[in-house]
Chain A
Amino acid sequence: MRRQRHGIPMRIAVVVGTALLVINGTFPLVWMMLTSLKEENELIRIPITYWPEAITFRNYVQVFDQLPFARFMLNSAVVSVSATVACVLIAALAGYALGRLNMPYRRALLTGIVMTSMFPALVLLVPLYRMFLGMDVPLLSPLVAFLHDLGMTFMPTEVRTPNLLNTYWALIIPYVALSLPIATLILTSFFQLIPRDLESAALVDGCTRVEALFKVIAPVSAPGVVTAAIIIFVNSWNEFLLALTFNTAQNMRTVPVGITMYQGEFAFPWATISAAITVGVLPLVALILLFQQKIIAGLTAGGVKG
């Protein structure tokens, strides 16, 4: 808000408030970084030290020595990037349909899609576990079994979906679905912002609708796609519950789950844990530094319209 010139007390209040805001937002992470640079025995000293007395990087070595943390990072990266790409593609198609085309019931459809974001991941846990464990395919499995019983012995006795637990698929599939509502909402509102004349011009010039989509709309909507992609990526990188349950093999863990594995039953190696957290959130901090404005635009896409 551009306001009139503030009085001196107001200015001081704003400066102090802003300082508090910045401290509030960054302090816990900064504290974790400071902790990660301290020796383990400095952490249990009373009174506690704020600045590390002797800066050490041993905790970071520990992070990679105790558990395959590099592998966790790779898993998280593979899963998050794949989920992001798939989700953006699907959501862009849906967003284009809901944002640009004259469809019956499109507000209702959008509301319906967005409403699915209230399905708690917790509720999906058990049925998805069963599904990924391998299950009968509706229609196909009974048919094959029936034909086998009829004497067509070249048919397999049963058809089941493959066991997807402890594979990347077990996480990619639900992550796409969990981020789809918010991604669709963001992309729909971005598509609505693109002027219609742009597309009409292409249609007049002899493009079909599909050609216009790829040649005209796709380049213009790139900023919206980037925004949606970042938010899907962050969601997928941070997901905990499904990753904890579906991928239990050590080398299939993702970063958030992996970090909770450093703590023992009673022992909390805080130095190592804080170093792991620092490394684990680096990609997120990098994204924030690079794309802060785009992320904010995306997060507020739903809020502005009400």
Chain B
Amino acid sequence: MALTTPHAYRRPGFWRRLRSGNPTEAQLGLILLIPAALVLALVMFWPIAQVLWQSLHFERLNVPARGRPFIGLEHYQRMLWGSDMTWDVRHLLGWRLLAFAGAAGLWWGAARGLARWRTALVWTVIAVLVAGLWMGYHPGEAGRWNDARFWNAFSITLIITVASVAGSFLVGLPLALLANVESRWRWLVRIALLIPWAMPRVLVGVMFAWLFNYTNGVVNDLLGRVGIAGPLWLSRAEPAVWAANITIVWATSAFVGLILLAGLQSIDESLYEAAMVDGASRWQRFWAITLPLLRPSIAVALIFRTLTAIQTFDIPYAMTQGGPGRTLETLGIYVSNTTNSLNLGYAAALAVALFGMSLAITVLYLRWIYAED
């Protein structure tokens, strides 16, 4: 009796298994991922590739005669340091000298093993950004760097990012702590948290433009009642930045609050009881238990908030169209304005800069999160 089979047993091949109608889990998974992959490829990755390619070309739709010649990195040169930049000593003065000195110190320390490379890198970036915000990125009219408008957009984007992210956490954390208290009114609290999240950002901008109206707005009326003369919120530079930031914080702190609320609810109750037995005060419990255990939630909220803040468009656009002047012209609004003036090549380069900033922040945060694990 031939007990041996004519062929050695083989696992059914990939396609045979697939055709038999009983695919393996991995096969089924791949098949189920196809629609999502197609959509993302068509609407996300293909356009990004096109923008990258476009940014290397000259294209102005209002100058059709020049066509669409390849110009390499010229747009980026114009954006970041200008096509006619000369390394004048004056360019190194001011904050640049300070930032360079500080950064050099850090890197020297890193090389000597006194600090970690990543710490040096992160603090260099922070020093350059903060010093630039303080004293300006662009040499101004006297200087010869080209696109002052880009650096203006960059600064205001940075200001809005730092201020509104910090603000939404300062407001969002108390919101979460309050929403976590058991009460009969919890449903009302939930609604109050969800309304700012669900409102269209443009309409939030329109709404707050009315609240911040100089003569008939409710903000100035309330300020007047306590004896403060409200400023011309939306037609003076500094108040406009405040107004835009307050509006963005209102619209986004609820989201931060919701994420932190979920984190709070996952904290084990017994930890607090143990701490109370040990006689920890309310503050001590907050600092020693609540905040450390909230870190994952804080990280998630921080990532989402920073990314949306860098892309800020709707609210300043709806409130003042980027004005007064170009005070609130964020990077997003600048991209859109450049597109509307039909300079598609340069708009693509600006869009790449915006995308690059988002990418850098995401990578930084992801590394931070994975380092925590």
Contacts and interface: CB of A to CB of B under 8 A. Distances in A.
Interface of A: 1-4, 14, 17-18, 21-22, 24-26, 28-29, 31-32, 35, 43-48, 50, 89-91, 93-94, 96-98, 101-104, 106, 109, 111, 113, 115-116, 118-128, 130-131, 173-174, 176-178, 180, 184, 208-210, 234, 237-238, 240-241, 255-257, 259-260, 268, 270, 273-274, 277, 280-281, 284-285, 287-289, 292-293, 295-296, 299-300, 302-306
B300 A18 contact: no
A50 B217 CA distance: 11
B50 interface: yes
B262 A300 contact: yes
A15 to B, nearest CB: 9
B356 to A, nearest CB: 10
Contact of A25 (B192, B296, B301, B339): B192
A240 B29 contact: no
A33 B178 CA distance: 27
Nearest to B247: A28
B191 interface: yes
A120 B354 CA distance: 8
A47 B215 CA distance: 9
A18 B189 contact: yes
A240 B314 contact: yes
Contacts of B216: 43-46, 48, 270
A120 B215 contact: no
A303 B43 contact: no
Given A21-B179, A126-B51, A273 B29 contact: no
A1 B181 CA distance: 6
B266 to A, nearest CB: 6
Contact of A238 (B201, B296, B318, B352): B201
Contacts of B332: 120, 122
Contact of B258 (A184, A270, A296): A296
Contacts of B299: 306
B272 A174 contact: no
Nearest to A104: B26
Which 4 A-B pairs rank lowest in CB-CB distance, beginning with the nearest? Answer: A25-B192, A306-B296, A300-B262, A177-B43
Contact of B200 (A89, A122, A237): A237
Contacts of A131: 47
Contact of A123 (B26, B40, B51, B307): B51
A113 B36 contact: yes
A260 B207 contact: no
B175 interface: yes
Interface stretch (B17-25, B79-87, B237-245): B17-25
Interface string B180-198: 1111010111111111111
A18 B185 contact: yes
Contacts of A287: 198
Contacts of B198: 234, 238, 281, 284-285, 287-288
Interface string B304-315: 000100110110
A22 B192 contact: yes
A287 B198 CA distance: 9
Interface size class of B (residues with CB under 8 A): 35 or more
B358 interface: yes
Contacts of B266: 304
A126 B258 contact: no
Contacts of A234: 198
A304 B174 CA distance: 19
A305 to B, nearest CB: 8
Given A94-B36, A123-B351, 5 more contacts: A118-B359, A177-B40, A177-B43, A209-B22, A303-B260
Nearest to A260: B202
Contact of B36 (A14, A90, A119, A304): A90
Nearest to A4: B276
A120 to B, nearest CB: 4
Nearest to B40: A116
Given A118-B362, A208-B22, A173 B43 contact: yes
Contacts of A4: 276
A286 B191 CA distance: 11
A85 to B, nearest CB: 13
9 contacts: A25-B191, A94-B32, A123-B355, A124-B47, A209-B28, A255-B200, A280-B203, A285-B195, A285-B198
Interface string B275-315: 01000000000000000000011011100000100110110
Contact of A299 (B26, B200, B255, B269): B255
Interface in B203-259: 203-204, 206-208, 210-211, 213, 215-218, 221, 250, 254-255, 258-259
Given A93-B35, A101-B29, A260-B318, A122 B203 contact: no
B178 A180 contact: no
A120 B253 CA distance: 20
Contacts of A285: 195, 198
A273 B203 CA distance: 10
Among A4, A103, A122, the most chain B Cβ lie within 10 Å of the Cβ of A122
B264 interface: yes
B347 interface: yes
B29 A97 contact: yes
B148 interface: no
A165 to B, nearest CB: 15
A121 B336 CA distance: 11
Among B51, B183, B299, B310, the most chain A Cβ lie within 10 Å of the Cβ of B51
A172 B250 CA distance: 29
Contacts of B211: 28, 31
A256 B195 contact: no
A29 B195 contact: yes
Contacts of B35: 89-90, 93-94
A131 B54 CA distance: 14
Among A45, A119, A268, the most chain B Cβ lie within 10 Å of the Cβ of A119
